[in-house]
Structure 1
Amino acid sequence: MTVETWTLLPSVPKVATRDAVRAEADGWTGVMLADSQNLAAELIVEMSMIVARTERVLVSPGVTNPVTRHPAVLAGAFATLQAESGGRIAVEIGRGDSALAHLGFSPMKLRPFRRYLQALQGYLRGDEVPFDPSFVPAHVASVGDLGLGVAPEGSSLRWLRPQQPKVPVGVAATGPKVIAIGATIGDAVSFSVGGDPERVRAAIERARAARIESGFDPDSLRLGAFLNIAVHDDMETAARITSGKLASFSRFSVMHGKVTGEATGADEAELERLHGKYDMTSHGRADAEHTTLLSAEFAERNAIIGSAKQCLERLMELRELGITRFFLTEEFSREGVAGESHAAIVEEIVPEVNSWT
């Protein structure tokens, strides 16, 4: 199975497109953009700009959510981009985080998240999807109230071309229940449990078990991992480089205050402290105060840091577990040691990982 390397880009007008063009030239398989309307530029617009300016690179949200768009709207947008790009679109979706927090909401609950995923997949396949009033505000009345002679009885993307490749849906997951949902409904599961091989192994085992229990071939499920990465020969410097993104991604393991995702006892205290002091108004910022809460030892266990050789050894260990999609997240800065780390990733990490099978 082909191994993929993905990079998360700053979702800023003009900047995202420029960086996507560079990422394509640098050999990345795909580029991701955050879907967080208050903190980042509009996802679909920026994806459209990238598709128009690139030729090969895959494009995906990293990640979208099930609340701010009806599944028909989300599916229609991505299917349109799929047609315009010649099949270069993928979807990563989770229960929601900063996009919802900045509207005053928490992540979607599990049962409606499952229904949303089922509807999204149905739309992308071209199926007729039953109406579900839970996807719209309660004050919106039924179409039946109009008394039409003939009213729609279901919902589908009627314009979808049968020959168009279906947009693959990956589910970003940390806890066991979301992993199981992703394994049974998604085309892929992308684990956000850090880079500790034991945590990744446990997540893979949960996904495969859920897939088998549902009667599906476990080998047909693609497995990915969101990994914070920094290349530097000095571990403390590497830990400092990745501290901002590591704090943001580590928070998923303690979203509701209780640690999930098979974290070890040594990490639980740090994760709980992070949860108690996390500043969502500074989400994703490298200078946020909460970035100082995770130790260098935590980073060494949970991020991919060190020399290029050390990072490749860590990544190969995860590849041997079954990971084929590497979502490598680094700091956005291209100055100083962060810039040196980025250059090493592009020159030494990406081409090597892309050569793996």
Structure 2
Amino acid sequence: MQFSLFYFDGDGTSAEAQPYRLLIDSARFADEHGFTAVWTPERHFHAFGGLYPNPALTATALAMVTKRIQLRAGSVVLPLHHAVRVAEDWAVIDRLSGGRVALGAASGWTMDEFVLAREPHGARRGVMWRTLDAVQRLWRGEAVSFEDADGREVEVKTLPRPQQPELPVWVACTSPETFVEAGRRGVNALTSLLGDTVEQVAAKITRYRESLARAGHDPSTRKVSMMLHTFIGEDLATVKDEVREPFSAYLRTHYGLLENLAKGMGLNVSLKDFSEDDLDSLLRFGVDGFMQGRSLIGTPESCLPFIRELSAAGVDEICCLIDFVQDYDSVMGGLGPLARLKSLVGREALSG
């Protein structure tokens, strides 16, 4: 099992003088302690998450302060971008970093983001796959035809040439169909437990591996990476007390997660119908369950059984989302115990 750091939040309205201090310092820590990768997202028009409108920019910054860790987009919303721009930007980062980039691709989150798109929100999945195909071809140095503003077909090749001959690719997968298509195309899968149980994700991973094999790809060379909210400490009660309030505040700002939490409690309702008292009750009774069954929150020892369960389900890498706690000292203080968990998992794999 590999471990990486994943970023998703960050108050983009804050007047803090160094809003990217956590990103830079935690990435340095991960680089120095043998983590596999760092993932930075693309999020538009969100106060929380507003620090990350462009993963190419954050990856460029991290290329300058790290030496070995892979720099991944988690993820580029491809329907919002032209394939040429994506290929060019990430080729620059690949050269700056010595060949350390990887691209996570997504079809899009909200309708509002599609003010940046040239095609409608409803077409986003097909646009993502077409754009990804073009990016991969441009990365290899192939000429790709695009239509200009006058409707004329133009063949282009992009520069600079990247250092890596093939672009490592992950696709954000939630539905069984996306897992199957990712397998058919031979790309890695990025998933989560936000809307599923471990058993449900395990079934999707099985279909992904089967799709890889049918398409002639070696399943052992492709990776399933799972994003998990992560906060590790040395005392379980202290960890839960420290995380409960910021995690509740985080869930209040992410209605999609809260609705999944409600469904997990057997409440098939829309949160727009909830009163403040309803939301308080949902958070009070649901947060502990979410922390235990869908996140990596606890001590290194208490989290080991969950890691074993995920490994048995076919997960190859834990992408540790660390910035849902909006406190620099708390998050940085949890990285040492997280590194110890990573070491325990490594030693267990060697002895097993």
TM range (shorter): 0.7 to 0.9
Query: Paired residue for 1:211?
Result: 212
- Correspondence for 2:57 among 10, 27, 45: 45
- Correspondence for 1:120 among 135, 154, 157: 135
Show the 5 A alignment for 1:272-291: 273=270
Identity score, percent: 18
> 2:130, 2:205 → 1: CA distance?
23
Q: Could you say which structure has the higher strand fraction?
A: 2
Letter in 1 for 2:229: N
> 1:249, 1:109 → 2: CA distance?
22
> 2:59, 2:122 → 1: CA distance?
24
Does 2:325 match 1:316?
Answer: no
Compare 230-239 and 167-176 and name the one that shifted more.
230-239
> 1:26, 1:79 → 2: CA distance?
26
Does 2:288 match 1:296?
Answer: yes
| Offset from partner CA, 1:253-296 (integer Å, 9 cap, x none) | 97xxxx7xxx9x9617458556877xxxxxxxxxx999778432
Query: Paired residue for 2:236?
Result: 233
Show the 5 A alignment for 1:90-169: 90-97=102-109, 100-101=112-113, 103=115, 106=121, 109-131=124-146, 140-143=149-152, 152=154, 154-157=155-158, 159-160=160-161, 164-169=164-169
Letter in 2 for 1:304: L
Does 2:53 match 1:74?
Answer: no
On the 8 A contact 1:56/1:88 being kept in 2, the answer is yes
TM-score normalised per structure 2: 0.75
On the 8 A contact 2:243/2:325 being kept in 1, the answer is no
**Structure 2 SS opposite 1:171:** strand
Task: Give the drift of 1:314.
Answer: 0.8
Structure 1 residues 291 and 64: alpha-carbon distance in aligned structure 2, compared to 1, 3 A threshold: farther
> 1:74, 1:54 → 2: CA distance?
22
| Offset from partner CA, 1:16-65 (integer Å, 9 cap, x none) | 33432233234322112121244124432221121012111211122211
On the 8 A contact 1:24/1:54 being kept in 2, the answer is yes
**Structure 2 SS opposite 1:64:** strand
On the 8 A contact 2:136/2:166 being kept in 1, the answer is no
Query: Paired residue for 1:33?
Result: 40
> 2:33, 2:201 → 1: CA distance?
28
- Correspondence for 1:20 among 13, 24, 27: 27
| Offset from partner CA, 1:55-96 (integer Å, 9 cap, x none) | 112111222111232112112211221122111111111112
Query: Paired residue for 2:4?
Result: 6
> 1:291, 1:107 → 2: CA distance?
32
**Structure 1 SS opposite 2:228:** strand
> 2:84, 2:267 → 1: CA distance?
40
Q: Say how many residue pairs are matched.
A: 321
Query: Paired residue for 1:56?
Result: 68
- Correspondence for 2:264 among 252, 264, 267: 267
Which runs of 5 or more structure 1 residues have no equivalent in the other structure?
145-151, 278-287
Does 2:198 match 1:182?
Answer: no
Task: Give the drift of 1:336.
Answer: 7.3
Structure 1 residues 268 and 340: alpha-carbon distance in aligned structure 2, compared to 1, 3 A threshold: same
On the 8 A contact 2:22/2:328 being kept in 1, the answer is no
> 2:114, 2:273 → 1: CA distance?
18
> 2:281, 2:40 → 1: CA distance?
24
On the 8 A contact 1:34/1:62 being kept in 2, the answer is yes
Structure 1 residues 52 and 305: alpha-carbon distance in aligned structure 2, compared to 1, 3 A threshold: closer
> 1:156, 1:289 → 2: CA distance?
56
**Structure 2 SS opposite 1:298:** helix
> 1:13, 1:336 → 2: CA distance?
14
Does 2:227 match 1:220?
Answer: no
TM-score normalised per structure 1: 0.74
Task: Give the drift of 1:174.
Answer: 1.0
Structure 1 residues 13 and 242: alpha-carbon distance in aligned structure 2, compared to 1, 3 A threshold: closer
RMSD: 3.8
Letter in 1 for 2:40: L
| Offset from partner CA, 1:197-229 (integer Å, 9 cap, x none) | 312311211212332343433333211111122
> 1:75, 1:290 → 2: CA distance?
44
